[in-house]
Amino acid sequence: MNRVRINELLQRPEAGGEVTIHGWVRTCRHSKGFSFLEINDGSIIHNIQCVVDADVPNYDRDVKALQTGASVRVTGRLVDSPGKGQRFEIQAKDVHVYGNAEGYPLQKKGHTMEFLRSIAHLRARSNTFGAVLRVRNVMARAIHDFFQSRGFVYLHTPIITASDCEGAGEMFRVTTLDAGDPPRAEGEIDFAQDFFGKPTSLTVSGQLSAETAALALSDVYTFGPTFRAENSNTTRHLAEFWMVEPECAFFDLDDDVALAEAFLKHIFSTVLSECPDDMDFFNKRIDKTAIETLRHIVESPFERMSYSDAIEILSKSGKSFEFPIEWGLDLQSEHERYLTEEHVKRPLVLTDYPRDIKAFYMRQNDDGKTVAAMDVLVPKIGEIIGGSQREERLDRLQERMKEMGLPEEDYWWYLDTRKFGTAPHAGFGLGFERTIQFCTGMANIRDVIPFPRTPGSAEF
RNA sequence: UCCCCGAUAGCUCAAUGGUAGAGCGAGCGGCUGUUAACCGCUAGGUUCAAGGUUCGAGUCCUUGUCGGGGAGCCA
């Protein structure tokens, strides 16, 4: 089809020439003798205004009947607009209606995010969600660009896992057994008869697989869907979300922190430079500090602090917190928020947490109390990155697993990587949707993914 | 899972325990440059569900469902 995108039209240096656009009517205003149609094709947040005079052949039958949401093809001359509010407009000479939209639920007036969520199949046609999807796309590309330009290998880790050992998080069971009448052996469900011959679940992390690849290819990253069956009902949790997990061999915690900082800054500066119109929209309508915040972060170094120092700052803060502050206890949301929003007012990297509140695979520090862990905290969202240097010493890893009651036989392949040419290595995980939230200022994580999956909700 | 708040027209909301309304949207008409256009008219309701109190319930009570905010859970 003869088709030009609206973003290309709007970026032309000057008017002139005949053009054909395709898109959806965002709003139309009819006067006696002519109509204004504003058409959007999703290529850019802005609409193009089309002026349709009544001498267009199907004017009375089609054009006057157009409703918001209708799909059209418009051909006409691209001219300078005499009106205010737009540079160019199309003086239409042919309008074809693909489909009208009687009863279309979206209006040109603003809608609540809750309502848009209830029509998630149509909300990409709203300004806000269109902008979210375009920014999401640019961020995904920025992530690949960042790693690819540094020689990282994009690794596809399995979605289905038989490792019951990926973590303490609740997992979604994957099975082909008859849920109503599963085969049993001695009273227990007989997973030997299941598709994989053993219990399987959706992955909660690709990290353990990524470690095996990093210990071969040196630098790898994963970027894929991740699943958590936690009954979490918050603005920051999804049951199905996307996670980025780089893993690097011959890397220590300092390298890991530096990588995380460079990585976030690359994503943010890419969004600023490649999504100016969408970011303007977010800045005007969603979060008046969105652009300023991103600029500030790109330009200033991240604050870095040990867990122990954070505890000291919190206990001397004079703030009254609901949860106690004591060395050895995990930080609560209120503590993280105070540190990043009030104390340093920018992203904060916390390192060297007590080993008893962290995972078995994190490298034990020489003090015998802490591990080489790091969390990147950002204002409003909280934890956006969690990572660590991994324990590469076989004996220390086995010792820690024993203390935590993890059976070695379940991890035989993971332990093999420490037996055969082990190497210091580190990595982290980035919550993709939380990062989109941070860039756009969108308050609810359900509004930065096309079709959110949350407890009790898997619509669309 | 816990605490708090909410559910009324397609959407956003109003209505002292006493006749359910407005704006937008929709339909019809008007208007020769509009910009969330403007002007006039019309249609549009099981007030989330079930039960209860009351002469009378959108309003008060109970339970449930759904949604929102906060917290927890969460590699």
Give me the DSSP letters along A126-149.
SHHHHHHHHHHHHHHHHHHHHHHH
Residue A110 lies in a domain: no
Give the residue, A101 or A390, on which the prediction is more confident.
Answer: A390
User: Distance (Å, rounded) from C-alpha A283 to C-alpha A294?
Assistant: 11
Do A84 and A231 have their domain in common?
no
Per-residue pLDDT at A333 exceeds 80: yes
Query: What's the Å distance between residue A265 CA and nucleotide B69 C1'?
Result: 31
* Section A113-133 average pLDDT: 94
User: Distance (Å, rounded) from C-alpha A42 to C-alpha A337?
Assistant: 36
Query: What's the Å distance between residue A438 CA and nucleotide B19 C1'?
Result: 51
Cβ within 7 Å of strand B: which of A 204-223? 204-205, 207-208
Q: Considering only A102-116, A120-134, A299-313, which range has the smallest mean pLDDT?
A: A102-116
Cβ within 7 Å of strand B: which of A 235-264? 235-237
Do A93 and A146 have their domain in common?
no
A100: CB within 7 A of chain B nucleic strand: no
Neighbouring C-alpha atoms within 13 Å toward the C-beta of A354: 12
User: Distance (Å, rounded) from C-alpha A246 to C-alpha A144?
Assistant: 11
Residue A408 lies in a domain: yes
Whether the CB-CB separation of A75 and A92 falls below 8 Å is answered with yes
Residue A47 lies in a domain: yes
Residue A403 lies in a domain: yes
Cβ within 7 Å of strand B: which of A 323-352? 323, 330, 332-334, 337
Query: What's the Å distance between residue A446 CA and nucleotide B4 C1'?
Result: 21
Q: What is the mean pLDDT of chain A?
A: 93
> In this structure, what CATH number is given to the domain that contains residue A345?
3.30.930.10
Per-residue pLDDT at A92 exceeds 70: yes
Query: What's the Å distance between residue A455 CA and nucleotide B2 C1'?
Result: 16
Per-residue pLDDT at A61 exceeds 60: yes
| Six-digit token string for A42 | 């999703």
Do A290 and A430 have their domain in common?
yes
* Section A87-107 average pLDDT: 92
Per-residue pLDDT at A153 exceeds 70: yes
Question: Residue A382 — very low, low, confident or very high, per pLDDT cuts 50/70/90?
Answer: confident
The predicted pLDDT at position A456 comes to 86
Give me the number of domains chain A comprises: 2
The predicted pLDDT at position A328 comes to 93
| Positions of strand B less than 7 angstroms from a protein CB | 1-2, 10-13, 24-27, 30-38, 66-75
ipTM: 0.91
Residue A112 lies in a domain: no
The predicted pLDDT at position A135 comes to 97
Domain of A277, in residue numbers: 124-168+204-447
The predicted pLDDT at position A166 comes to 58
pTM of the model: 0.95
* Section A154-181 average pLDDT: 85
Residue A27 lies in a domain: yes
Per-residue pLDDT at A168 exceeds 60: no
Per-residue pLDDT at A314 exceeds 90: yes
Residue A253 lies in a domain: yes
Cβ within 7 Å of strand B: which of A 430-459? 443-444, 446, 456-457
* Section A293-312 average pLDDT: 93
Q: Residue A125 contacts by C-beta under 8 Å, 6 or more apart in sequence?
A: A24, A40, A42, A69, A106
Does the CA dihedral A325-A321-A288-A129 come out positive or negative? positive
pLDDT in tens, A171-217: 999 999 998 899 999 888 999 999 999 999 999 999 999 999 999 99
